[in-house]
Structure formats: structure tokens, C-alpha cells
Structure 1
Amino acid sequence: MLIDVVSPLLTTLRDATRLHSHFRDDVKLLIEAHPERYLHLLQKVLPEEVRYWPYGISSTLDMIAAADDSLATDARVRDLRRRWDAR
């Protein structure tokens, strides 16, 4: 997959507020097909400052967990949810 190739080149975004993934059907299909890779992508690119995370990130995390039950308890999902809920 392309994400496997570009992953080492990814950097954290300064502002990810324009990433509205939960509204797009093509992104939903991508999450359903590759939830772990999409989670990996989020982990790499989301800014440290939660206020710059995209609107609907909670829904996106829900989609990831629904697509793969094992990811619902994954440390990365728990960490992202914890950080989001603490904002």
C-alpha cells in the first residue's frame, strides 16, 4: 500500500482543522477497508495541540473502532480519545 511507502516521510501537521474525514464517503470506505493504516496515518499527522485537530475526529475514531473491533481497545485509539476528551 502507498501508506506503507510514504509513512516514513509523513510529518505532523500544524493545523489539521480542514481534514473533515467523517463527511466523505470515499474516506469512510478507506477507513472500513484499512482501519489500522488510517489510524497510523492519524497518529503521524495530527498536531500535538488538540485545538488544531479536525472537526469530527471523534466520529472518525468511532469508524476506525467499528471497522476493526480490536482497534477499539488499541493504545493509539485510547490515547487519541483521551487527548480529545481532555480538551
Structure 2
Amino acid sequence: MKKKIHPKNYRPVVFKDINNEKILICRSTVKTKEFFIKNGKEYPLYKMEISSYSHPFFTGEKRFLGKTGPAEKFKKKYKNYKKF
């Protein structure tokens, strides 16, 4: 490995999945403003919207997000107009 290019501020950080409240503690350099206390120790907290605990690929779930794409919106908007 090259010397003097890697960050020196690695520390244990809590990564929290906000969808299901699962946590993962690993070393990281991510900057955080919040903290999490576990077993009497204070860790920096990073909140994630999705992780392997909630991603459909890893969980095997099929989810409908409720969002329609541009093609569906266009079809819905113009379905009552006459075709020429």
C-alpha cells in the first residue's frame, strides 16, 4: 500500500437503518453530528435510509414504493384524449 494517503481518523461508528432501527458498528471516517450510546459507550451515529437489513435484494421482499414513473404519469394524464 502507498504510505501517507490513508486517513488516520478511523473510529467505531454506529450505522443505523432508519427503516427498521437495526444498527451496525464498524470503523469509519464518516463525519457525524449525532451520537448513540450502547453498553455505556458513546459512538458517532450515522443514519442510513437503506441497508442490507432493509434492501429488498437482501431481504427477499417485494415492495411497491408507490411512485410512478414518467411513462405511467403521461399515460394517466392523457388517457381521456381522442386519438387522431
* TM > 0.5 fold call: no
Which of the pair is proportionally richer in helix?
Answer: 1
Q: Which TM-score band applies after superposition, normalised by the shorter structure? A: under 0.3
Using the size of structure 2 for normalisation, the TM-score is: 0.18
Rg (Cα) greater in structure: 2
RCO comparison, higher one (Cα < 8 Å, 6+)? 1
Using the size of structure 1 for normalisation, the TM-score is: 0.18
